[in-house]
């Protein structure tokens, strides 16, 4: 349940999962203490938190309902008997009624025009989401610059399993910082989730932390991004990212937008659940509308767990606090 804490605090869990976490917290004082640490670690993000995006086509659907109500034809009524001649004072009421009808017709026209205008504005704003995807893609390419430089110096991509007990996926960021290969422009927060955030922690500073501080910071080390947890071969030998090249690097994901908590088989929340950018070991990035590559779910292994893959073709990209 503790893997859900970040989504719990960000309000990203469905009602059923949130109820399970609430019940778990009610029974476990230690879990509540850990949740408080995670909340404290995420507190700086509240300063620039952005308002959630409204549901798709909310304005258009609202206008359509209003227009349907205001402009709907009235049911026919039985004709009234011929009224006697009315006085001028009473006749003014009739003129007022016709003015009211004119106002309703004008309102219908204005609502229709406003609806068309909002649809056009929505289309103009549409590329903004696409722009965030592109910006995130470029951010992942900056990560690849650091990963590639590290590989050139050490002969392999960073292997998070070697840093026990700090062997979480997010430790890739302190490893790259320690190695001096991380570009200053890299953000550990996806552009689709808000303004850039950098992580200045190095492996040395991480190892100087207390266990409690590490538990506090581990969910935010790589924050909005997932990194490869490697795999084990048939003999149980562990291999780091792209360490056993049975598949081409162009087909081997190494990093991606952060997945939801373990057990939730949805897309990343970074781009509204519409998909995720995925960085491959050869440096190219694609936006995947589904979290499945071929038949492989890139966020869990074939046993349905967030841990090392069961072979070289079983790719698992783990969230920051996930362990191989």
Q: Are residues 162 and 310 in the same domain?
A: yes
Examine residue 66 and state whether it is found in any structural domain, yes or no.
no
- Look at residue 88 and give its three-state secondary structure: helix
Q: Tell whether 196 and 313 lie within a shared domain.
A: yes
Across the strands, what pairs with 257?
Answer: 225
- Categorize the per-residue pLDDT at 118 as very low, low, confident or very high, splitting at 50, 70 and 90: very low
Residues 141 and 241 in one domain: yes
292 confidence band (pLDDT: 50, 70, 90): very high
In a domain, 117, yes or no: no
17 falls within a domain: yes
Task: Indicate if 15 and 160 belong to the same structural domain.
Answer: no
**Residue 258 pLDDT greater than 60, yes or no:** yes
pLDDT digits (tens, 9 = 90+) for 33-88: 777 777 766 665 554 444 455 555 565 566 566 656 655 555 555 555 555 554 55
Q: What is the DSSP letter of 235?
A: T
The total number of structural domains that make up the chain: 2
In this predicted model, what pLDDT tens digit does every residue of 174-233 receive, in sequence order?
A: 999 999 999 988 999 999 888 999 888 999 999 999 999 998 889 999 999 999 999 998
How high is the pLDDT of residue 265? 87
* 41 & 134 share domain: no
Residue 83 lies in a domain: no
Residue 139, pLDDT above cutoff 50: yes
pLDDT at 2 exceeding the cut of 60? yes
pTM of the model: 0.63
Is 157 among the domain residues?
Answer: yes
Q: CB-hemisphere CA count at 13 Å for 126?
A: 9
How much helix, strand and coil, in percent to the nearest 5, is found in the chain?
50, 10, 40
CB neighbourhood size of 282 (10 A): 14
Domain of 25?
Answer: 1-45
Residue 87 resides in a domain: no
Q: Are residues 153 and 301 in the same domain?
A: yes
Please check whether residue 252 lies inside any domain of the structure. yes
Spacing of C-alpha 26 from chain mean position: 28
Task: Kindly state whether residue 106 falls inside one of the protein's structural domains.
Answer: no
């Amino acid at each position: 349940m503790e893997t859900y804490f970040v989504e719990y605090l960000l309000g990203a869990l469905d009602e059923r999962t949130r109820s399970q976490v609430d019940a778990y917290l009610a029974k476990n004082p230690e879990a509540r203490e850990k949740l408080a640490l995670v909340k404290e670690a995420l507190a700086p993000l509240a300063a620039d938190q952005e308002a959630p995006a409204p549901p798709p086509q909310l304005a258009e659907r609202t206008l359509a309902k209003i227009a349907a109500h205001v402009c709907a034809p009235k049911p026919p009524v039985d004709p009234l008997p011929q009224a006697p001649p009315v006085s001028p004072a009473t006749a003014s009421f009739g003129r007022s009624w016709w003015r009211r009808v004119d106002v309703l017709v004008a309102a219908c026209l204005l609502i229709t025009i406003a609806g068309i205008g909002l649809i056009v504005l929505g289309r103009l704003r549409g590329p903004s989401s696409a722009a965030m995807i592109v910006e995130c893609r470029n951010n992942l390419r900056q990560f690849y610059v650091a990963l590639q430089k590290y590989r050139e110096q050490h002969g392999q991509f960073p292997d998070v399993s070697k840093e026990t007990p700090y062997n979480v996926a997010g430790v890739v960021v302190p490893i790259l910082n320690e190695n001096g290969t991380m570009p200053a422009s890299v953000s550990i927060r996806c552009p689709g989730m808000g303004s850039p955030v950098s992580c200045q922690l190095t492996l040395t500073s991480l190892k100087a932390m207390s266990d409690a501080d590490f538990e506090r910071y581990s969910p935010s080390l790589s924050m909005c991004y997932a990194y490869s947890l490697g795999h084990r071969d048939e003999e149980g030998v562990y291999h780091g990212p792209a360490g056993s090249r049975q598949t081409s690097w162009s087909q081997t994901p190494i990093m991606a937008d952060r997945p939801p908590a373990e057990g939730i088989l949805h897309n990343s929340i970074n781009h509204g659940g519409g998909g995720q950018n995925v960085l491959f070991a050869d440096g190219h990035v694609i936006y995947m509308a589904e979290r499945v590559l071929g038949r492989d779910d890139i966020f869990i292994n074939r046993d349905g767990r967030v841990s090392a893959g069961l072979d070289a073709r079983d790719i698992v990209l783990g969230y920051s606090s996930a362990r191989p």
